[in-house]
A = this chain, B = another copy of it.
Amino acid sequence: MPDEMARPLIRERGEGRGSRRLEASMSDPGAPVVGILGTGDFSRSLARRLVASGYQVVVGSRTPKRSAALFPEEAEVTSQMEAASQADLVFVAVFPEHHSTLVELKPALAGKTLVDVSNGLKISLEGPSNAEQLADLFPESSVVKGFNTISAWALQMGPRDGSRQVFLCSDSSTAKSSVIQLCRRMGFVPVDMGLLSSSLEVENLPLYLFPSWRIPLLCTLSLFVFFYLYNFVRDVLLPWITARKSVFYKMPIETVNVTLPSVALVMLSLVYLPGLCAAFLQLWWGTKYNRFPNWLDRWLTRRKQFGLCSFLCAVLHAIYSLCLPLRKSARYKLLNMAAKQVKEGVDDSWVDEEVWRMELYLSAGIVALGLLSLLAVTSLPSVSNTVNWREFSFIQSTLGYCALSMATLHTLLYGWGRAFDPTQYRFFLPPTFVLVLILPLTALLGRLALCVPCVAGRLRQIRRGWEKSRHIRFTLPDDGCRNGLEDVSHV
């Protein structure tokens, strides 16, 4: 479902322009002149967008005659030197490896603003960035990094959805200001990223592939593999080895469906454990001005992804469970049970405890899924933007712990009775529902401990700035989410 432009608003205007149009462009000689060096796809789209936004565009090409056909009529295509001289603001849209060919333009570009739109080919962690190299080549010009996150396609179509951000950085605030203004006039949303030393980050931006999802996804996958193998060995392989009972048909659905809720519950408790760690560390230190260890910092910032992975597993678990009675295997089993019941002359096979257990754990599961869905919906950027901090923290913290409690209850009710049944431990492998309860119960008990009045009071003091010793160290963003409320009251 690729992104696209709903309506062809900015249509081809190259043909059939009427007299009104010509007048207009005639009457507007005072429009700022913007230069573009380079004639690739990006240059062409940029030229069209600039022309559409009312700028005079001068394109510098090494082969101006051949290139002219590629650009909109209103843009002047000339030599690189000519373009560099005419414009005050020049987009450098040539390959970074060819930046050096521009050196001859140095005098013409002195004192002007150069916008470096280049990207690297792969994520680079060590500088210098393309923009810094350009700044070293042209020390007398002001280099602004930006527009590299915008594709030729987005440039040509116009930023219709209104939130295409252009990340800008520069050492010259004057140059940056003028690019910010140009940006706005083109309809983009400029985001100031500070000095040119941020340009490496800006160049890396379009090359990332879900960096914040890597650890949560890895975590989900390895938990899945572990629990799947565990359940496979316990429920499928061992019965076959010991009793030659072939239940391999369980592999695609039943084993997966025992694995998914385990992953979901562990991942959900991993959402709430780092916040508790942070709180206990702060209590231990007696101050909030200590820097958290790096792993905790990173974990805290990945909670949303952990939560969404947990939600995905929970939803899949629900769908798999709902599919269970659909299966031929379920039908065959039911038919065989009916035949057996008739054979044995049993009129009523009702077992009240089993009925109650199932009704209750299904209820708990549905409520947990409902709460998780609310959390997931409020994680959507457009929804979380409409709630204030108090509402956000209510949903993510209060409703989140409710969801964790209900999910834990669902597991407890499911395992009820069976957890103390020795036949479940035949192969010295406890059932998974026993294993997965460790972390969520830890999280819930930790949260309860923080509710004890004296602990809660001390924590509140600490988060309001109180310190055990008055040795103040530098503060860092710590537990942004749970601090939210205190933050806004500026305490």
Contacts and interface: CB of A to CB of B under 8 A. Distances in A.
Interface string A81-124: 00000000000010100000000000000000000011101000
Closest 5 CB pairs of A and B: A1-B307, A2-B481, A382-B382, A24-B171, A338-B338
Contact of A193 (B9, B171, B300, B319): B9
A385 interface: yes
A423 interface: no
A186 B196 contact: no
A362 interface: yes
Given A20-B196, A66-B472, 7 more contacts: A20-B195, A27-B172, A44-B475, A52-B192, A325-B326, A332-B349, A332-B351
A415 interface: no
Contacts of A319: 318, 366, 369-370
A156 to B, nearest CB: 5
A347 interface: yes
Interface string A173-198: 10010001000011101111111111
A95 B490 CA distance: 8
Nearest to A196: B20
A283 B192 CA distance: 41
A276 to B, nearest CB: 13
Given A44-B475, A488-B151, A359 B252 contact: yes
A218 interface: no
Nearest to A4: B301
A312 interface: yes
Contacts of A148: 488, 490
B192 A53 contact: yes
Contacts of A251: 359
A417 B334 CA distance: 25
B359 A171 contact: no
Given A41-B475, A350-B336, A359-B253, A490 B316 contact: no
Contacts of A327: 355, 358-359, 362
A126 interface: no
A453 interface: no
A69 interface: yes
A215 to B, nearest CB: 12
Nearest to A151: B487
